[in-house]
Amino acid sequence: MGRQGTLSPVGIVRRFTLRTGVLRLDAYLMLAQKMNDGTIRILRGVGIGCLIPGVPVLLVTLFCALLWVRSYFVLDYMARWNHRPVADGWVVDHLHLNSGAGGLNLSSARDTPTNANEQKYTQERAGVEMYWQTNPKTHYPTLQKLEGRWGKMGFFSGPVPSNHSACGTRAGSEVLMPWWCPMLVLVLLTGILTSPYIVYVRRRRRANHTPDGICQPADGLPKPSV
């Protein structure tokens, strides 16, 4: 009866070793927590830095997705015309964006007046004009004959068809592609710019979550659990 409550030398060594191991484990956990906090701060800075350009790219992606779906129902024609003087007369620089039947056409051209009437017509319309017109009869937005492997997939790059408009002779170039091509680039770019912030949010939630059964010291000092 008198020996109850006492420990043998072996028991004292075992208890000291267990207590020291708990202290070391708590110290390692605190060090890991500090390293995790530093990682979270770095992820926060990188995530917010990438999110600033990521939001506009996301909005552009959503707008292009809307145009892609819309192209199967109507043909959209957007243009910017700039009637301006040059050294030897007047010219018309214009940009076009056509969207229809799942395709996208981007073109840049210049109309050069060849007579006095065309010069006068261009001069009377001096300035910049913007257009957005729609046509319920949608079609693939090109007048070119698509040939070859890339042509069968809906791709084309080359000069615009030569024609004569009210402002003169037209010359320029155009690029034709299916809508899925720029959408793929935009989706990948959006994912690259927004993924660091998503990783930061997940790491922060994981760090703030304390599983049951783990002792968190209140005063910041490691405390043994035995």
Structure confidence by residue, pLDDT tens digits, 162-187: 776 667 788 889 999 999 999 999 99
Examine residue 27 and state whether it is found in any structural domain, yes or no. Answer: no
Q: Give the contacts of 46 (CB within 8 A, at least 6 positions apart).
A: 196, 200
Q: What is the pLDDT of residue 21?
A: 47
pLDDT above 60 (res 3): no
Residue with tokens 């028991």: 11
Q: Are residues 195 and 167 in the same domain?
A: no
Q: What is the pLDDT of residue 175?
A: 92
What is the rounded average pLDDT of the residues 122-150? 83
**Residues 189 and 57: beta-carbon distance below 8 Å:** yes
**Residues 176 and 152: beta-carbon distance below 8 Å:** no
pLDDT above 70 (res 9): no
Structure tokens at 95: 């940009």
Examine residue 171 and state whether it is found in any structural domain, yes or no. Answer: yes
Q: Are residues 202 and 153 in the same domain?
A: no
Q: Are residues 108 and 202 in the same domain?
A: no
Q: What is the pLDDT of residue 76?
A: 93
Examine residue 214 and state whether it is found in any structural domain, yes or no. Answer: no
Q: Are residues 81 and 172 in the same domain?
A: yes
**Residues 103 and 140: beta-carbon distance below 8 Å:** yes
Q: Are residues 155 and 198 in the same domain?
A: no
Q: Are residues 123 and 201 in the same domain?
A: no
Examine residue 121 and state whether it is found in any structural domain, yes or no. Answer: yes
Examine residue 132 and state whether it is found in any structural domain, yes or no. Answer: yes
* 3-class SS of residue 92: strand
Q: Are residues 113 and 151 in the same domain?
A: yes
CA distance 41 to 81: 49
**Residues 105 and 144: beta-carbon distance below 8 Å:** no
**Residues 144 and 162: beta-carbon distance below 8 Å:** no
Q: Are residues 139 and 172 in the same domain?
A: yes
Q: What is the pLDDT of residue 222?
A: 47
Indicate the number of domains in the chain: 2
Task: Give the structural domain span for 118.
Answer: 72-178
Q: Give the contacts of 152 (CB within 8 A, at least 6 positions apart).
A: 146
Q: Are residues 60 and 81 in the same domain?
A: no
* 3-class SS of residue 75: strand
Q: Are residues 102 and 170 in the same domain?
A: yes
Helices (H), the chain: 9-70, 116-124, 148-152, 180-208
- Tallying the residues shown for the chain, one arrives at 226
Q: Are residues 93 and 155 in the same domain?
A: yes
Answer left, alpha or beta for residue 48, where phi above 0 means left and psi between -120 and 50 means alpha.
alpha
Q: What is the pLDDT of residue 34?
A: 55
* Cβ count within 10 A of residue 11: 10
CA distance 163 to 203: 60
Q: What is the pLDDT of residue 40?
A: 61
pLDDT digits (tens, 9 = 90+) for 21-57: 444 555 555 555 555 566 666 666 766 777 788 889 9
Q: Are residues 202 and 130 in the same domain?
A: no
Examine residue 10 and state whether it is found in any structural domain, yes or no. Answer: no
Examine residue 113 and state whether it is found in any structural domain, yes or no. Answer: yes
pLDDT digits (tens, 9 = 90+) for 85-116: 887 778 888 898 999 989 999 999 888 888 88
Instruction: State pTM to two decimals.
Output: 0.64
